[in-house]
Structure formats: structure tokens, C-alpha cells
Amino acid sequence: MPESLQIQLKKGVLEMCVLALLSRGDNYAYDIASRMAEAVGMGEGTIYPLMRRMQNDGLVSTYLQESESGPPRKYYRLTKSGALALKNQIAEWLTFESAVRKILGEAS
């Protein structure tokens, strides 16, 4: 059975959303996953592989920070490449969204 449109859309914008969250400040993966789950219903199991890939691609960097409630946490920071990628992805998204809205408007 094919994936639902909603699942496909979520997968398509997941990186852009994570980059947008990090553009507001450094954060750790669990908090990013929680915010994504709350906002668009993405599970935390999806975030960890994405964060590794984004780090490998140079979009984010990491550092450890002591935690008051346990071991040090790995924080993610947007790199210059990540900020540029976010800017480009937002532009692509807005162009795509506009085209879809136009088509949907013609269909109604």
C-alpha cells in the first residue's frame, strides 16, 4: 500500500523544519524530536538518523554540554552551510506552495 500524502509531505519537509528550529538557537536531538512530534507528528526515531546525515553533510555541527539531569547532552548548531541550505529550501518551498495553490484554485 502506498504511503499517504501526509507522510510523504512530512518526509519532504523534515530537514527544512529541523534547520528552521536550529536557526532559532542550538538544541539537542530529543528536544528537536519533541517539538517536531508536537508540531507535525514526526516520531523521534526519524530525527536521529536525519541529525547524523545533516552533520555529515556539514549543515550542523555538534558540541557536548553538561546536563543538570544526567550525562552531557549533544547539542546541534546550524552551520553557515546549514543556514544557506535553509534559505534555499524555504525559497523552493514557497515557489512550490504557490504553484500548488494556483493549481488547486483552478481545480475548484
Question: Does position 43 have pLDDT exceeding 80, yes or no?
Answer: no
Averaged pLDDT for residues 88-99: 96
CATH number for 5-107 (one of 3.30.360.10, 3.40.50.300, 1.10.10.10, 2.10.25.10): it is 1.10.10.10
- The residue with cell 532559532 is 24
* Residue ranges covered by each domain of the chain: 5-107
Q: What is the mean pLDDT of residues 100-106?
A: 91
**The whole model's pTM is what?**
0.88
The DSSP secondary structure of 28-65, one letter per residue, reads: EHHHHHHHHHHHH---HHHHHHHHHHHHHTTSEEEEEE
Q: What is the pLDDT of residue 1?
A: 52
CA distance 20 to 22: 5
